Chains A and B, each alone.
Chain A
Amino acid sequence: GAGVSQSPSNKVTEKGKDVELRCDPISGHTALYWYRQSLGQGLEFLIYFQGNSAPDKSGLPSDRFSAERTGGSVSTLTIQRTQQEDSAVYLCASSSLGQGRAGELFFGEGSRLTVL
């Protein structure tokens, strides 16, 4: 596809369960970002990848959160033992950084996670 694709678009889970959120970036984009947006709030940085490497994981809220990227393409954000405070929209964005690290971010539509 032409844009950033995220799945699932909606996920309802029970407290304590694990969830996986997937992001398929724009083909050729080397950088991939994960953000979290709680209802009515701003964009909270979680992690970014340059290729398959994650130079900065400082935004991950706890060790229950992890992310990986394979083949310089698809990324998976995993949340273990989900808590109600994890409920939010998880946004993925990709970017081509050919212009001196100034590439714009293209966002997916997000995965809305609800933890009951």
Chain B
Amino acid sequence: QQPVQSPQAVILREGEDAVINCSSSKALYSVHWYRQKHGEAPVFLMILLKGGEQKGHEKISASFNEKKQQSSLYLTASQLSYSGTYFCGLRSYNTDKLIFGTGTRLQVFP
């Protein structure tokens, strides 16, 4: 079952903050976040593991709530380079299969 991301789209002015959410109906082992720019391949941002480990990238951070089976991606003081589509990827227990969410399109304007 595909994870659900919200919002579907975000429009920001440079310097504004945004939060992207990802929800699953399955128990999660880890959460990945990727960004894909138009016409390019997805690029890895970070992994969050069960147990609360959190990694950051530039001014982008994330959280992982195992009980709620949710993850949130926080973009602080957005830059033009943040524009793209963000995907969460969820991995359940006992599998290496990574299922991606529905995607959130982010546009940052000057």
Cβ of A98 within 8 Å of any chain B Cβ, yes or no, is: no
Partner of B103, one of A31, A42, A50: A42
Task: Point out the residues of chain A lying under 8 angstroms from B29, CB to CB.
Answer: 101-102
Contact yes or no, B41 A43, CB < 8 A:
no
Query: Which chain B residues in 1-52 approach chain A with CB under 8 Å?
Result: 2, 29-30, 32, 34, 40-44, 47, 49
- With contact pairs A102-B30, A104-B44, A107-B42 given, residues A31 and B96 touching in the complex (Cβ less than 8 Å): yes
Contact yes or no, A97 B96, CB < 8 A:
yes
Cβ of A91 within 8 Å of any chain B Cβ, yes or no, is: yes
Task: Point out the residues of chain A lying under 8 angstroms from B42, CB to CB.
Answer: 43, 91, 105, 107
Contact yes or no, B44 A101, CB < 8 A:
no
Range of interface residues on A (Cβ < 8 Å): 20 to 34
Task: Point out the residues of chain A lying under 8 angstroms from B34, CB to CB.
Answer: 105
Contact yes or no, A43 B96, CB < 8 A:
no
Interface of B, secondary structure class, is strand
Contact yes or no, B41 A102, CB < 8 A:
no
A56 smallest CB distance to B (angstroms): 5
B100 smallest CB distance to A (angstroms): 4
Task: Point out the residues of chain A lying under 8 angstroms from B101, CB to CB.
Answer: 42
Partner of A107, one of B41, B47, B99: B41
Cβ of B98 within 8 Å of any chain A Cβ, yes or no, is: yes
Partner of A48, one of B2, B32, B43, B97: B97
Contact yes or no, A101 B102, CB < 8 A:
no
Partner of A50, one of B40, B87, B96: B96
Question: Nearest 4 A-B pairs (CB), nearest first?
Answer: A107-B41, A43-B100, A104-B44, A42-B103
